[in-house]
Amino acid sequence: MEYTSPLDDKTLPSTPQLVKRAPIDLDPAERLNSDHVISTDTLVEQPLVAAWVDASLARMSTAAGEQGLPFVPHKLTPEVENTFWVNLIGKGYPAPRNKFRWCTERLKIMPSNKFIHDVVRSNGEAILVLGTRKAESQRRAITMSKLESKRVRERLAPNASLPNSLVYTPIEDWNNDDVWLFLMQVKNPWGHDNKSLLGMYQGATEGGACPLVVDSSTPSCSTSRFGYWVCTVVEKDRSMEAMI
């Protein structure tokens, strides 16, 4: 099994915690040889986010060793020729914009796909467990709904872009509040403090407000956005301003 640590824009790290809990009740002989947890460092991440990811992956690795679980964390980075500054200064690319958004493909998608290809090459197949949710955006909901007809099992569908791999989306129907309730009520299985994660998202929200929603009038952390500190796709990086 291979799955990503969903530490990007609007998806919170509840998925690896759910998956981490699954093998605990299995007989050791039934457990998979290795579950790869991957997080892609674009090398232009916001420093606070990068530090949180490093600390989380380190704790995950330690806990997996102590508990005898097959979790292997990986921090991926883009190839040198695909890094932000090589493209911007070395190759003379214009700054990323909506009509020429070269950054996401080169900095995040390509390193992840290369890793997954390597896993498939070594094992014959892979299951990619993602924290994608329909509540992230209307576009995401439409895309996920279209893929439902191709599923081989509940929440399990072929990966259109990566042969011999399947995509599993365990929290696809969760909203932002479901994610936060889980993270705040269920102890982090590798000992990391989820409250520090809440504080990070609070810091990325204007006014520092990030309460657990109790009714439709209560604001949540849905406006928090973690992009690259050099991001030029948005006109105004409100989360960066709030964190500063």
Q: How confident is the model at residue 122 (pLDDT cuts 50, 70, 90)?
A: very high
pLDDT at residue number 115: 95
Most confident by average pLDDT, 89-98, 202-211, 234-243: 89-98
Most confident by average pLDDT, 149-153, 155-159, 213-217: 155-159
Q: How far apart are CA 49 and CA 36, in angstroms?
A: 21
Consecutive H or E run containing 157: strand 156-158
CATH number, domain with residue 11: 3.40.50
Residue 169 has pLDDT above 70, yes or no: yes
For CA atoms 51, 54, 60, 66, give the dihedral sign. Answer: negative
Q: How confident is the model at residue 31 (pLDDT cuts 50, 70, 90)?
A: low
Q: Which long-range contacts (CB under 8 A, 24 or more apart) does 181-189 make?
A: 181/212, 182/14, 182/17, 182/18, 183/12, 183/13, 183/14, 183/17, 184/212, 186/17, 188/17, 189/17, 189/20, 189/21, 189/24, 189/63
Whether residue 223 is contained in a domain is answered as no
Residue 175, C-beta contacts closer than 8 angstroms, at least 6 positions apart: 133, 135
pLDDT at residue number 215: 38
Whether residue 100 is contained in a domain is answered as yes
Q: Please, is 18 exposed, middle or buried when counting C-beta atoms within 10 Å of its C-beta (0-12, 13-18, 19+)?
A: middle
* Between 151 and 21, the higher pLDDT residue: 151
* Between 30 and 196, the higher pLDDT residue: 196
Task: Tell me the residue range of the domain where 116 lies.
Answer: 2-175
DSSP percent split of the chain into helix, strand, coil, nearest 5: 45, 15, 40
Q: Which of 24-33, 80-89, 165-174, 194-203 has the lowest mean pLDDT?
A: 24-33
Which tens digit of pLDDT belongs to each residue from 186-202? 888 888 888 877 777 77
Which tens digit of pLDDT belongs to each residue from 50-76? 988 999 899 999 998 998 888 899 999
In the chain, what percentage of residues exceed pLDDT 90? 30
Name residue, tokens 């390597």.
118
Q: How far apart are CA 116 and CA 125, in angstroms?
A: 9
pLDDT at residue number 44: 93
Q: How confident is the model at residue 10 (pLDDT cuts 50, 70, 90)?
A: very low
pLDDT at residue number 19: 59
Nearest-10 Cα torsion for 128, 131, 137, 138: 50
Name residue, tokens 């269920």.
186
Q: How many domains does the chain have?
A: 1
pLDDT at residue number 135: 87
Residue 147, C-beta contacts closer than 8 angstroms, at least 6 positions apart: 157, 160
Whether residue 60 is contained in a domain is answered as yes
pLDDT at residue number 103: 92
Name residue, tokens 């921090």.
75
Average pLDDT over the chain reads 79
Average pLDDT of span 19-41: 67
Whether residue 201 is contained in a domain is answered as no
pLDDT at residue number 174: 92
